[in-house]
């Protein structure tokens, strides 16, 4: 005969919540917005960049004037702006312009200045890897510092507008070429572009872009590192290498901060 007390001791109540299988933990994975290349993205990029392109146009007028004073014809200056699309390297080339043309010196100087574009292109890779080579390289042809910054901001917002860079680049390209023609035609009538403040226009554009890209105190550290590196390099390293070195220093800092 089984003792009722012993049978009761053997019977243990299992809480109801323990008998139920635990709910599966849900992990929220942030999906990347699909990157598309559409006329809408092209249009938005073009319209967004028009105010910035107007500022770049002032710099284009200055280039046209300097190119005219260096002996380039209107057609030559216009062809350079239409095919190179890089204000800093174009100004360097014009400053070095002579007879005979120092091809090696011009190539070396422009490569040093434009190496920063390799860093800028790498920053776009997470989005542009979804696009065809024709769309990527067509967009990169008209990439400048200004529309690159606008494109990064747009893509980071999750819009997925892959054509934004091309649209914004076409806005800059159009006004850059047009303003070069204006400056080259004006030529001697303008004289020194600095008299009209054209030499500060590009600096003002970059300051406006920097304000738009500000993302809190964490942004200040790489900016200061880039600034300090560029200032030291400009004092001790000949040429325009300080631009690339400043960017590399800031990029290296961000890699270290990210890994830690």
User: How do residues 186-203 score in pLDDT, each as one tens digit?
Assistant: 876 766 666 666 666 556
Could you tell me if 250 and 138 lie in one domain?
no
* Shared-domain flag, residues 154 and 206: yes
User: What residues make up the domain containing 225?
Assistant: 215-260
Question: Is there a single domain that holds both residue 209 and residue 224?
Answer: no
74 plus 109 within the same structural domain: yes
Model pLDDT for residues 92-106, shown as the tens digit of each residue = 788 777 777 778 777
Residue with tokens 């606008």: 150
- Residues 175 and 221 grouped into a single domain: no
Residue 227 forms part of a structural domain: yes
Residues 246 and 185 in one domain: no
CB neighbours of 145 closer than 8 A, spacing ≥ 6?
Answer: 120, 206, 209
For the record, the structure tokens of 136 come out as 């990527």
CA dist 75 → 56, 65, 119, 180, 204 (Å): 20, 13, 32, 10, 29
pLDDT in tens, 34-93: 899 999 999 999 999 999 999 888 888 888 988 888 889 999 999 999 999 888 788 878
Tokens of 156: 């980071």
Q: Classify residue 192: in a domain, yes or no.
A: yes
Give 5 or 129, the one with higher predicted confidence.
Answer: 129
197, 213, 229: which is the final residue of a domain?
A: 213
Do 123 and 139 lie in one domain? The reply is yes
State how far Cα 115 lies from the chain centre.
Answer: 13
165 shares a domain with 238: no
With the C-alpha atoms ordered 156, 126, 135, 244, is the resulting torsion angle positive or negative? positive
Q: Which two tokens stand for residue 38?
A: 């559409």
pLDDT (tens digit per residue) in 133-171 = 999 999 999 999 889 999 999 999 999 999 999 999 999
Q: Both 138 and 253 in a single domain? A: no
Residue with tokens 């190496």: 115
pTM: 0.67
Q: Phi and psi of 231, rounded to 5°?
A: -65, -45
Q: For residue 93, tell me if it sits in a domain.
A: yes
Number of separate domains in the chain:
2
Within the chain, residue ranges assigned H as helices are 4-10, 16-19, 39-69, 74-84, 87-95, 103-114, 116-128, 133-141, 145-156, 164-186, 198-213, 217-236, 241-259
Those residues with Cβ within 8 angstroms of residue 160's Cβ, 6 or more apart along the chain or in another chain:
33, 34, 35, 36, 127
Q: Are residues 154 and 90 in the same domain?
A: yes
Q: Which residue has the higher pLDDT, 118 or 136?
A: 136
Residues 47 and 172 occupy one common structural domain: yes
The answer on 198 and 222 residing in a single domain is: no
């Amino acid at each position: 005969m089984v003792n009722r007390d012993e049978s009761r001791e053997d019977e243990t109540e299992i809480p109801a919540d323990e008998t139920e299988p635990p709910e599966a933990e849900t992990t929220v994975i942030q999906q990347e917005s699909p990157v598309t290349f559409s006329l809408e993205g092209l249009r938005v990029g073009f319209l967004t960049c028009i105010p910035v392109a107007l500022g770049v146009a002032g710099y284009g007028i200055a280039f046209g004037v300097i190119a005219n004073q260096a002996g380039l014809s209107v057609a030559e200056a216009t062809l350079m702006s239409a095919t190179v699309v890089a204000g800093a390297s174009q100004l360097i080339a014009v400053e070095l312009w002579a007879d005979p043309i120092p091809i090696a010196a011009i190539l070396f100087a422009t490569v040093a200045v434009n190496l920063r574009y390799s860093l800028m292109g790498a920053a776009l890779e997470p989005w542009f890897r979804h696009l065809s080579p024709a769309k990527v390289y067509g967009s990169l042809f008209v990439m400048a510092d200004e529309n690159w910054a606008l494109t990064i901001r747009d893509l980071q917002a999750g819009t997925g507008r892959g054509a934004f860079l091309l649209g914004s680049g076409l806005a800059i390209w159009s006004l850059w070429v047009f303003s070069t023609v204006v400056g080259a035609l004006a030529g001697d009538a303008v004289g020194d572009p600095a008299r009209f403040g054209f030499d500060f226009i590009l600096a003002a554009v970059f300051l406006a872009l920097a304000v738009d890209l500000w993302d809190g105190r964490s942004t200040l550290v790489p900016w200061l590192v880039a600034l300090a590196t560029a200032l030291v390099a400009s004092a001790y390293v000949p040429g325009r290498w300080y631009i690339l070195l400043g960017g590399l220093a800031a990029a290296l800092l961000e890699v270290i901060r990210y890994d830690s």
